[in-house]
Chains A and B, each alone.
Chain A
Amino acid sequence: MDIGLRRAAVAADRDRLYQADTQVRPAPFRQGGTTVSVDKLKQIITDVLKDVDVVIGYKQGFDPLHATPCFVTKPEQVDQIIWNPLCVQNLASFLPSLKKKVAVVVKGCDSRTIVQYMQEGLIDRSKVVVIGIPCTGVVSVKKILDKVKHESIEEVKFGEEGSITVKTPSGETKMALSEVAPDKCGTCLYPTPVVYDHLAGEPIVSTKDPQSVFKDVEEFDKKSLEEKKAYWEKEFDRCIRCYACRNACPMCVCQDSCIAESREPHWISQKSNLTEKTMFHMIHALHLAGRCVECGECERVCPMGIPVNKLKKKINSDMKALFGYEPGVKPEDKPPMFTFSVEEKNIEEHKL
Chain B
Amino acid sequence: MADTGFIPKEKWGAFIEGLAAKAQVWVPCLDGDVVIFKPYSKDQTLCFERPANSPPKGVIFPQSDRLFSFTFNKDPENPQKVMVELDEKLDFPKTVVIGSRPCDAKGFLIYDRPYTETDTPDPYYKGRREQTTIVTMSCQSPSAGCFCTAVGGGPADREGSDVLVTELDSGYFIEAITEKGKEILQQSVAESGSSHEAEAQKKQDAVRSRVKDPIGANGKPEISPDLFESDEFWQEAVAKCVSCGACTYLCPTCYCFNITDEKTFDKGERIRSWDGCMYNHFTLETSGHNPRPTKYQRFKNRVGHKFVFYPEKYNGVIACCGCGRCIRYCPMSVDISEIVSNLQKQTGSASDGK
**A contact set with B: CB distance below 8 Å:** 61-63, 65-74, 76-77, 80, 89, 93-94, 142, 145-146, 149-153, 169, 234-235, 238, 240-244, 246-248, 255-256, 261, 263, 269-273, 297, 300-301, 303-305
Could you say which of B144, B243, B260, B276 has the most chain A C-beta atoms within 10 Å of its C-beta?
Answer: B144
Q: Tell me which residues across on chain A come within 8 A of B271, comparing CB atoms.
A: 269-271
Given A247-B243, A271-B262, A151–B332 Cβ distance below 8 Å?
no
Contact A243 B244 (CB under 8 A): yes
Interface membership of B186, Cβ < 8 A? no
Contact A303 B141 (CB under 8 A): no
Nearest residue, chain A, Cβ from B295: A97
Q: Tell me which residues across on chain A come within 8 A of B119, comparing CB atoms.
A: none
The segment from B46-54, B81-89, B157-165 that touches chain A is B46-54
Q: Tell me which residues across on chain A come within 8 A of B236, comparing CB atoms.
A: 71
Q: Tell me which residues across on chain A come within 8 A of B337, comparing CB atoms.
A: 62
Q: Tell me which residues across on chain B come within 8 A of A255, comparing CB atoms.
A: 280
CA distance A304 to B244 in the complex (A): 14
Contact A270 B258 (CB under 8 A): yes
B146 touches which of A152, A235, A304 (Cβ 8 Å) = A152
14 contacts between A and B (CB under 8 A): A63-B144, A67-B333, A150-B49, A169-B210, A238-B31, A242-B250, A244-B331, A248-B242, A271-B269, A272-B63, A272-B64, A297-B331, A303-B54, A303-B250
Given A235-B32, A271-B64, A301–B331 Cβ distance below 8 Å?
yes
Contact B279 A240 (CB under 8 A): no
Nearest residue, chain A, Cβ from B50: A150
Within 8 A of A (CB), among B248-275: 248-250, 258, 260, 262, 269, 271, 273
Given A246-B244, A304-B36, A150–B333 Cβ distance below 8 Å?
no
B54 touches which of A240, A244, A246, A301 (Cβ 8 Å) = A240
Contact A149 B331 (CB under 8 A): no
Chain B 227-257, CB within 8 Å of chain A: the 1/0 string?
A: 0000000001001101111101110000000
Q: Tell me which residues across on chain A come within 8 A of B143, comparing CB atoms.
A: 150-152
Q: How many residues of B contact A (CB 8 A)?
A: 54
B333 touches which of A68, A241, A269, A303 (Cβ 8 Å) = A68
Closest 10 CB pairs of A and B: A272-B64, A301-B331, A247-B244, A303-B329, A68-B333, A256-B280, A69-B240, A61-B333, A270-B273, A77-B353
Nearest residue, chain B, Cβ from A142: B33
Q: Tell me which residues across on chain A come within 8 A of B244, comparing CB atoms.
A: 242-244, 246-248, 301
Q: Tell me which residues across on chain A come within 8 A of B32, comparing CB atoms.
A: 234-235, 238, 305
A261 touches which of B50, B239, B279 (Cβ 8 Å) = B279
Q: Tell me which residues across on chain B come within 8 A of A256, comparing CB atoms.
A: 280-281
Within 8 A of A (CB), among B315-347: 325, 327, 329, 331-335, 337-338
CA distance A272 to B269 in the complex (A): 13
Q: Tell me which residues across on chain A come within 8 A of B214, comparing CB atoms.
A: 62
Smallest beta-carbon distance B315→chain A, Å: 30
Within 8 A of A (CB), among B143-157: 143-146
